[in-house]
Amino acid sequence: MNIERVDIAIVGAGPAGLSAARIAARAGVRVALIDDNPRPGGQIWRQGPALAPAAPLRRWLDEAHSHANLVVMNATKVAAAPGDKRFLLERDGAPLVLAYSKLILATGARERLLPFEGWTLPGVTGAGGLQALVKGGMPVRGERIVVAGSGPLLLAAADTARRHGAHVVAVVEQAPLARVARFVAALALTPGKLAQAARLGVACYRTGSVVVKAHGSARVEAVTIRARGRTQTLEADRIACGYGLVPNVTLALALGCATDERDGAIHVDDSQRTSQEHIFAAGECTGIGGIELASVEGAIAAHAALGVAADARLVRERERWRAFARRVAHAFELGAAARAMPSPDTVLCRCEDVSIAEVAAHANWRDAKIQTRCGMGPCQGRVCGEAASVYFGWPRAVARPPFAPVRIDTLIAASESTETPVS
């Protein structure tokens, strides 16, 4: 099989990966930027059929064209990490081995989905999921949408839906009013974020509230929310419910990188270096912090991978946005109502149709997985494993290769590129 060789491989083409790729490409080394989306930009700058690139992404794309040493691999999946500083990729439907000297992980985050009664009905998505679908061209004009869960992403998702013609019935935030109010007041420390919040503000914002049930026969027709012990049912055509983000560390764990026990994020030092000498990490895989923090971490990681000290200004910017990230985490920390376990017959694992009661009968994730097949579907426990962590306190599920659905010939190549077959 052909082997592509680069000096620096970067996985993830969101703000962190793009920032790292720019710095590395300018230095003249050979760089590969890998992302499974059809276009660079990540979730924040996701493009679509009717959605032009945002200005920062357009500038990056213009500059990228001038760097022949930068190989942008869109629609490319990392299938396995067989060792020896190599990845097995699937690009354009064909297997490819990529060999690298240094690696920067910019794998971003995943949305935390917590089950509620009726959450498997058509029309229920995550809040970030709704935003991605709309940006990808899904029509929502005229639909009544309830956006729920926790965190600033709710307002961004609601704004995206509204700008595409949807009627946002309510934004349902689990955090209490006092914490949200203190967070908003603290936005004066970051004027850009304050202006952004003002643009995204909605009149139907409800704090201290959670979704408890989706109603409907063939699809969503209404949603029941609970606030301070009282319930209310709202008519809706779609529910977008996500309880914040969690770092995407699947690849980092496979490569042996240490993670923090508190939030599961990749542990990095001041130069964004992981516990593996040749691997660096940046962006929300190292902790949820937003676009500004991701961008500056990507730049610092690229400098470190090149063996160059980062400018002191970048370090100061990183500390500024890390402080902002801590304020976000405190304001929108999940409360008891959000963590409350739904009824036992509520589906926990949608891939394998396993209920909460079936999973709760076991002592740990491993036993539940063996006995019920929970976490053995296409998502490999990325959704139900996070929910089980919230409800039962179990360690988060660890995905095994292949890390994404791939073609059979890629699986054959994976088994040929390792001493033991991929399972």
| CB neighbourhood size of 380 (10 A) | 21
Q: Is residue 333 part of a domain?
A: no
Structural domain ending residue among the three candidates 303, 328, 353: 328
Q: Is residue 335 part of a domain?
A: no
- Are the beta carbons of 149 and 127 closer than 8 angstroms? yes
Residues 117 and 131 in one domain: yes
Token pair of 147 as six digits: 């956006």
pLDDT in tens, 114-126: 999 999 999 999 9
Helix (H, G, I), strand (E, B) or coil at 216: coil
Q: What is the pLDDT of residue 194?
A: 65
- The domain in which residue 164 lies consists of 113-243
Q: What is the pLDDT of residue 193?
A: 75
* Per-residue confidence band for 405, with pLDDT thresholds at 50, 70 and 90: confident
Q: What is the pLDDT of residue 287?
A: 96
Here the CATH number for the domain that contains residue 152 is 3.50.50.60
Whether pLDDT at 203 is above 70:
no
Q: Is residue 75 part of a domain?
A: yes
Whether pLDDT at 46 is above 80:
no
Q: What is the pLDDT of residue 423?
A: 40
Q: Is residue 307 part of a domain?
A: yes
Residues 122 and 67 in one domain: no
Whether pLDDT at 167 is above 90:
yes
pLDDT in tens, 346-404: 999 999 999 999 999 999 999 999 999 999 888 889 999 999 999 999 988 777 888 88
Whether pLDDT at 159 is above 60:
yes
Residues 306 and 377 in one domain: no
Residues 262 and 156 in one domain: no
Q: What is the pLDDT of residue 60?
A: 86
* Per-residue confidence band for 265, with pLDDT thresholds at 50, 70 and 90: very high
Give yes or no for a cis peptide into 402 (omega within 30° of 0): yes
Residues 202 and 257 in one domain: no
pLDDT in tens, 140-158: 999 999 999 999 999 999 9
Tell me which residue has tokens 């990845």: 87
Q: If you average pLDDT over residues 32-59, what whole number do you get?
A: 82
* Per-residue confidence band for 410, with pLDDT thresholds at 50, 70 and 90: confident
Range with the lowest mean pLDDT among 9-13, 148-152, 246-250, 407-411? 407-411
Higher confidence at residue 37 or residue 267? 267
* Per-residue confidence band for 198, with pLDDT thresholds at 50, 70 and 90: low
Higher confidence at residue 197 or residue 143? 143
Of 204, 141, 206, whose CA–CA distance to 173 is shortest? 206
| CB neighbourhood size of 252 (10 A) | 27
Whether pLDDT at 316 is above 90:
yes
Tell me which residue has tokens 């590129």: 417
Sign of CA dihedral 278, 284, 287, 290: positive
Higher confidence at residue 230 or residue 83? 230
User: How many CA atoms lie less than 13 Å away from 21 in the CB half-sphere?
Assistant: 34
Residues 204 and 291 in one domain: no
Whether pLDDT at 288 is above 80:
yes
Q: What is the pLDDT of residue 418?
A: 55
The DSSP code sequence of 248-312 is --HHHHHTT--B-TTT-PBP--TTSB-SSTTEEE-GGGG----HHHHHHHHHHHHHHHTT-PPPH
- Are the beta carbons of 243 and 339 closer than 8 angstroms? no
For 54, residues 6+ apart whose C-beta sits below 8 A from its C-beta are: 41, 45
Higher confidence at residue 61 or residue 35? 35
Residues 356 and 300 in one domain: no
Q: Is residue 22 part of a domain?
A: yes
Angle at 11 between CA 101 and CA 318, to 5 degrees: 95
Q: Is residue 84 part of a domain?
A: yes
| CB neighbourhood size of 44 (10 A) | 18
Q: What is the pLDDT of residue 50?
A: 62
For 359, residues 6+ apart whose C-beta sits below 8 A from its C-beta are: 348, 349, 368, 372, 374, 384, 388, 392
Tell me which residue has tokens 């739904």: 342
Token pair of 351 as six digits: 């891939």
The residue length of the chain stands at 423
- Are the beta carbons of 115 and 213 closer than 8 angstroms? no
Residues 269 and 314 in one domain: yes
pLDDT above 70 coverage of the chain, percent: 94
Q: What is the pLDDT of residue 90?
A: 94
- Per-residue 3-state assignment (H helix, E strand, C coil) for 306-341: CCCCCCHHHHHHHHHHHHHHHHHHHHCCCCHHHHCC
Q: Is residue 406 part of a domain?
A: no
Residues 379 and 314 in one domain: no
Q: What is the pLDDT of residue 422?
A: 41
Higher confidence at residue 221 or residue 377? 221
Whether pLDDT at 172 is above 50:
yes
Q: What is the pLDDT of residue 401?
A: 85
Q: What is the pLDDT of residue 147?
A: 97
Sign of CA dihedral 323, 325, 328, 330: negative
Q: Is residue 400 part of a domain?
A: no
Structural domain ending residue among the three candidates 212, 243, 274: 243
Q: If you average pLDDT over residues 227-254, what whole number do you get?
A: 95
Q: If you average pLDDT over residues 80-86, what whole number do you get?
A: 89
State the total domains in the chain.
3
Residues 227 and 120 in one domain: yes
Q: If you average pLDDT over residues 189-212, what whole number do you get?
A: 79
Whether pLDDT at 48 is above 70:
no
Residues 35 and 183 in one domain: no
Residues 370 and 294 in one domain: no
